[in-house]
């Protein structure tokens, strides 16, 4: 969501073989078909997850945090095709998200607005869209709690989520774009609080941290979507790995790069090039579902970009190879929904195992980051 507006110079470009690029083209083809069908069969609907491969309409969603991913994918398809039809569709679906930039009840402004309005500005130069994105960055930064030096999650003031790290790029971007030093201070402070309390020494990440909001004392780590409080939720680690990489790409602080590398070390040692897609939680014994693909694609995209920023050539090569191996695996028919009756693009994702929401299904952020990673693999600006 922020790779294009990165300010830290990249150290290298790395080769992308034709097999991987062909896989990226195939993902775009499938995405176009599925998105067109979504717009035809479920007009103006912004889905979050499927049930048996069909977009769910009337089930509990826990929080409304996924609406930007549909217009976001449409902008990515427009970027590839330059077709006026996709521009019109993406603009229309972006308008459906308008208003969320002012939503003070969520911590997901990046997922909602960087995907939709920020991309609209990047691809069309629309100034109004840019202002909406800046407003969203200010709204998220405005949630900052001085006593705890963090931005609370939607749950309560005393809670923050690792997920915020994949949204906070919008706060960095808005602060840097407008020269707002206090906003930048908040973004850095939240990231450092997360690094201190939610990222562990072995590079794994907790999901939720809880504080005493009066004294600012950190109390404990907990989880909603992982196996248990002290375990290692795959997607939480992916949000941290890619999030700290993006914050480094935007703001160039060395401790952000160090945190991303620590996360990457955990990811790399708990997956392999032959088996790159982990289950929902790395520590769950005998996981019921073999895979959680949305975290895998988000982490792989993070590794792909991190490879451009680390000093060590061998480390960079290992990240790059793992990122490409993961993408190719996810583009195999076991994961890529070539069959027309499955409405999503990427199978075997899970939203919330404990609540039994979207488990072993297509999930809208998995779709978005799959298509965004395909864009990165084909882009000439990278
Ligand atoms: N932000 C919630 C999730 O990753 O499922």
Q: What is the pLDDT of residues 19-32, one digit of tens each?
A: 999 999 999 999 99
Atom 1 of ligand 1 has which residue's CA nearest to it?
Answer: 163
How far away, in angstroms, is 380 Cα from ligand 1 center? 30
* Cα separation, 216 vs 200, whole angstroms: 20
The structure tokens 């930064």 sit at 141
Given the CA of residue 351, which atom of ligand 1 is nearest to it? 5
- The per-residue pLDDT for range 259-287, each reduced to its tens digit, is 999 999 999 999 999 999 999 999 999 99
pTM of the model: 0.97
pLDDT value of residue 62: 85
- With a 6 Å cutoff on the Cβ, whether 235 touches ligand 1 is yes
Radius of gyration of the chain (CA): 19
In terms of DSSP H, where are the helices of the chain? 18-41, 69-81, 84-95, 109, 119-124, 127-142, 169-178, 181-197, 234-251, 254-269, 293-306, 313-330, 364-378
Show the CA angle centred on residue 144, arms to residues 142 and 147, nearest 5°.
140
The structure tokens 């330059």 sit at 82
pLDDT value of residue 244: 98
DSSP state of 116: I
* Cα separation, 199 vs 43, whole angstroms: 41
Using 50 as the pLDDT threshold, list the residues of the chain that sit under it: none
pLDDT value of residue 381: 63
- With a 6 Å cutoff on the Cβ, whether 225 touches ligand 1 is yes
pLDDT value of residue 351: 95
- With a 6 Å cutoff on the Cβ, whether 163 touches ligand 1 is yes
Atom 5 of ligand 1 has which residue's CA nearest to it?
Answer: 351
* Cα separation, 319 vs 265, whole angstroms: 9
How far away, in angstroms, is 57 Cα from ligand 1 center? 18
* Cα separation, 70 vs 39, whole angstroms: 10
């Amino acid at each position: 969501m922020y790779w294009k507006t990165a300010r830290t110079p990249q150290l290298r470009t790395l080769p992308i073989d034709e097999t991987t690029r062909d896989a990226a083209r195939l993902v775009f083809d499938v995405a176009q078909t599925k998105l067109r069908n979504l717009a035809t069969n479920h007009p103006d609907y912004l889905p979050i997850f499927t049930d048996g491969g069909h977009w769910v309409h009337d089930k509990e969603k826990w929080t409304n945090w996924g609406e930007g991913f549909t217009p976001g994918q449409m902008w990515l398809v427009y970027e590839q095709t330059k077709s006026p039809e996709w521009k019109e569709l993406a603009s229309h679906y972006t308008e459906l998200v308008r208003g969320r930039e002012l939503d003070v009840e969520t911590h997901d402004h990046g997922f909602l607005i960087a995907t939709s309005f920020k991309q609209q500005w990047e691809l069309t130069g629309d100034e109004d869209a840019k202002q909406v994105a800046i407003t969203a960055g200010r709204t998220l930064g405005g949630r900052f709690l001085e006593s705890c030096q963090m931005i609370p999650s939607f749950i309560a003031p005393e809670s923050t989520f690792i997920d915020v790290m994949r949204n906070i790029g919008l706060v960095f971007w808005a602060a840097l774009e407008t020269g707002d030093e206090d906003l930048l201070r908040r973004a850095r402070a939240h990231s450092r609080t997360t690094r201190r309390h939610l990222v562990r020494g072995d590079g794994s990440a907790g999901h939720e941290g809880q504080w005493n909001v009066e004294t600012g004392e950190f109390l404990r780590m907990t989880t909603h979507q992982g196996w248990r409080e002290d375990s290692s939720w795959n997607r939480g680690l992916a949000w941290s790995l890619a999030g700290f990489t993006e914050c480094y790409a935007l703001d160039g602080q060395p401790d952000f790069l160090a945190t991303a590398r620590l996360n990457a070390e955990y990811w790399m040692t708990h997956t392999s090039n032959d088996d790159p897609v982990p289950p929902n939680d790395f520590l769950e014994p005998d996981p019921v579902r073999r895979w959680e693909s949305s975290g895998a694609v988000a982490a792989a995209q993070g590794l792909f970009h991190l490879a451009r920023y680390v000093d060590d050539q061998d480390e960079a090569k290992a990240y790059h190879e793992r990122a490409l191996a993961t993408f190719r695996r996810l583009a195999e028919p076991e994961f890529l929904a070539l069959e027309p009756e499955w409405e999503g693009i990427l199978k075997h994702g899970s939203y919330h195992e404990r609540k039994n929401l979207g488990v072993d299904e297509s999930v809208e952020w998995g779709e978005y980051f799959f298509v965004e990673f395909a864009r990165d693999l084909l882009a000439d600006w990278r």
